């Protein structure tokens, strides 16, 4: 009927225009849909995923959100019950997989009793005695594995969830390999935590319940070495000077003046520290924890810390600021057993180290542990597991690769190899094989390190 009013030609024009219009709209729609699936719905971070998130300059406005990782739009065939029969199809294609299908989140965390003050656990007051008794009954688990060598447990960890951004897990993997290498050379055991033991103490505070639990479960440990997942060993030959700390219980990198005089929030660093297994340490953990419980307590404590400490930005209470505050205000109680170490980099801020690696290789050698060859390079603020860091992503990742290779070269040279450059993951041979491998020069003494040899009696 329409064509009688406006003419056949016109009708056909309109029909054609409508068809084109439909196709156009369909294309636009598909393009939008695919783009959304790729970019994601927004930029919400989940700080609780990142145990090693030391300071957040802009956290006040962040909200918790569920991670939204969709590699592409979910593939219909993944919903098929006959996945295994379809083994060669999209069901087997990792690129087509929607990760949300396996992210199981069972319910909410238990709500803590608001009337009950937070506690890390039942009070223990005789830990030194309990420990001594246990040790005498268990001589096979001595606190010292050599004359001057205490039994050390290095503790680190990361979230049980995949990183919000994919490359984060790759750097966590390289980071733990790096720690495995150092610890193997130095006779140190590792505990890699991926469990949130106490929902109230999520984020950077999660280390406190974990540390307490490990200390009281393992009386054989003399020192617990906490190390953040974004910290890497860059001096494989440096042995911690344990003798120096014989009268100390808590060793952190820092400066007395910056903590006790200035109350500077970065006067010490809690990303890499040593804690002796003793009553004093349990008491310290109890004194440290009150600012930690998330929500109102942590927020309010954050305001106190920003007010009381020098240069501290506005954000919820973090464990490092809380420690500065604790020591600065209760020096008499704790100070005599705290060693703020700055003779070597128990923690080394990456910003002032990573551009000097070539200079270090040129002028120095492993074993120094200090500014000449740092024991630890710590990538504070990079947050590769999250969505958004405090520094350029490109700089962070490139420098983390360099730091990893800088440390890895010291392992590879044991076997006659090295990275082609500090930027390259490829390796090249630098020492020829011979028929007498045991005569190879072990230049750094890392093949059979003296600090690792133990006396084993015939049994």
Stretch that binds its own copies, among 297-305, 313-321, 328-336, 409-417 (CB under 8 A): 409-417
Site for its own copies in 368-387 (CB under 8 A): 384, 386-387
Rounded distance between C-alpha atoms, residue 169 and residue 67, angstroms: 15
**163/284 with CB nearer its own copies:** 163
Rounded distance between C-alpha atoms, residue 238 and residue 227, angstroms: 16
Asked if 2 interacts with its own copies (CB under 8 A), we say: no
Strands 223-227 and 268-276: antiparallel
Stretch that binds its own copies, among 239-247, 257-265, 316-324, 436-444 (CB under 8 A): 436-444
**38/311 with CB nearer its own copies:** 38
Asked if 5 interacts with its own copies (CB under 8 A), we say: no
How far does Cα 393 stand from its chain's mean position? 16
Asked if 58 interacts with its own copies (CB under 8 A), we say: yes
324 and 268 in contact (C-beta within 8 Å)? yes
How far does Cα 380 stand from its chain's mean position? 10
Stated length of the chain: 459
**Using CB under 8 A, which of 11, 40, 313, 370 touches its own copies?**
40
**13/363 with CB nearer its own copies:** 13
Size of the site for its own copies (CB under 8 A): 137
Tokens of 290: 């009150």
**Using CB under 8 A, which of 391, 431, 444, 445 touches its own copies?**
391
Stretch that binds its own copies, among 233-241, 353-361, 370-378, 434-442 (CB under 8 A): 434-442
Rounded distance between C-alpha atoms, residue 67 and residue 45, angstroms: 8
Rounded distance between C-alpha atoms, residue 34 and residue 30, angstroms: 6
390 and 382 in contact (C-beta within 8 Å)? yes
Rounded distance between C-alpha atoms, residue 37 and residue 145, angstroms: 55
Asked if 425 interacts with its own copies (CB under 8 A), we say: yes
268 and 288 in contact (C-beta within 8 Å)? no
**339/357 with CB nearer its own copies:** 357
Site for its own copies in 100-139 (CB under 8 A): 101-102, 104-107, 121-125, 130, 134, 138-139
180 CB-near residues (< 8 Å, 6+ apart): 190
Stretch that binds its own copies, among 161-169, 255-263, 304-312, 324-332 (CB under 8 A): 161-169
Asked if 64 interacts with its own copies (CB under 8 A), we say: no
Site for its own copies in 76-95 (CB under 8 A): 78, 83-84, 86-88, 91-95
CB of 328 to its own copies, least distance (A): 29
CB of 182 to its own copies, least distance (A): 12
CB of 185 to its own copies, least distance (A): 10
Instruction: Using the CB atoms, write b or e for 274-296: b if 16+ within 10 Å.
Output: bbbbbbbbbbbbbebbbbbbbee
Return the closest-CA partner of residue 324 out of 269, 272, 287, 276: 269
Question: In this structure, what is the dihedral angle of CA atoms 292, 280, 267, 211, given to the nearest 10 degrees?
Answer: -50
Asked if 448 interacts with its own copies (CB under 8 A), we say: yes
Return the closest-CA partner of residue 231 out of 353, 149, 136, 88: 353
From residue 181 to residue 220, the character string flagging contacts with its own copies as x (rule: CB under 8 A) and all else as - is x--x----xxxx-xxxx---------------xx-xxxxx
Asked if 251 interacts with its own copies (CB under 8 A), we say: no
**Using CB under 8 A, which of 43, 64, 303, 310 touches its own copies?**
43
CB of 187 to its own copies, least distance (A): 9
**Using CB under 8 A, which of 168, 254, 292, 366 touches its own copies?**
168
């Amino acid at each position: 009927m329409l064509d009688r009013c406006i003419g056949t030609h016109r009708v056909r024009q309109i029909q054609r225009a409508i068809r084109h219009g439909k196709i156009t709209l369909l294309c636009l729609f598909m393009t939008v849909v695919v783009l959304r699936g790729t970019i994601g719905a927004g930029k919400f971070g989940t700080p609780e995923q990142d145990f090693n998130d030391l300071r957040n300059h802009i956290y006040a406005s962040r909200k918790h959100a569920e991670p939204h990782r969709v590699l592409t739009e979910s593939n219909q065939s993944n919903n098929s019950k006959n996945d295994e029969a379809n083994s060669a199809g999209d069901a087997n294609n990792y690129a087509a997989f929607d990760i949300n299908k396996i992210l199981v989140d069972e319910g909410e965390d238990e709500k803590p009793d608001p009337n009950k003050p937070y506690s890390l656990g039942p009070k223990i007051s005789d830990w030194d005695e309990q420990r001594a008794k246990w040790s005498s009954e268990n001589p096979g688990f001595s606190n010292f594995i050599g004359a001057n060598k205490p039994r050390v447990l290095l503790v680190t960890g990361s979230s049980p969830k995949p990183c919000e951004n994919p490359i984060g897990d790759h750097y966590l993997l390289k980071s733990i390999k790096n720690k495995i290498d150092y610890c193997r050379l130095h006779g140190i055991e590792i505990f890699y935590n991926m469990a949130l033991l106490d929902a109230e103490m999520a984020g950077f505070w999660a280390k406190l319940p974990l540390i307490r639990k490990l200390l009281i479960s393992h009386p054989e440990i003399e020192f617990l070495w906490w190390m953040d997942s974004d910290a890497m060993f860059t001096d494989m030959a440096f042995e911690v000077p344990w003798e120096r700390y014989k009268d100390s219980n808590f060793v952190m990198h820092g400066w007395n003046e910056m903590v006790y005089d200035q109350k500077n929030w970065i006067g010490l660093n809690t990303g890499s520290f040593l804690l002796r297994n003793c009553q004093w340490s349990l008491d310290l953990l109890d004194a440290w924890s009150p600012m930690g419980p998330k929500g109102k307590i942590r927020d309010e404590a954050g305001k106190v810390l920003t007010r009381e400490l020098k240069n501290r930005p506005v954000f919820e209470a973090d464990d490092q600021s809380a420690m500065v505050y604790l020591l600065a205000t209760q020096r008499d109680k704790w100070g005599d057993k705290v060693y703020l170490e700055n003779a070597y980099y128990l923690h080394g801020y990456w910003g002032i180290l990573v551009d000097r690696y070539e200079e270090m290789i040129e002028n120095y050698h492993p074993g120094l542990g200090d500014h000449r060859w740092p024991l630890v390079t710590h990538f504070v603020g990079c947050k590769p597991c999250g969505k958004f860091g405090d520094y350029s992503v490109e700089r962070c990742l490139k420098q983390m690769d360099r730091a990893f290779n800088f440390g890895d070269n010291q392992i590879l040279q044991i076997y006659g190899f090295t990275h082609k450059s500090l930027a390259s993951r490829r390796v090249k041979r630098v020492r020829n094989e011979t028929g007498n491998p045991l005569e190879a020069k072990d230049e750094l003494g890392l093949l059979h390190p003296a600090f690792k040899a133990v006396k084993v009696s015939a049994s």
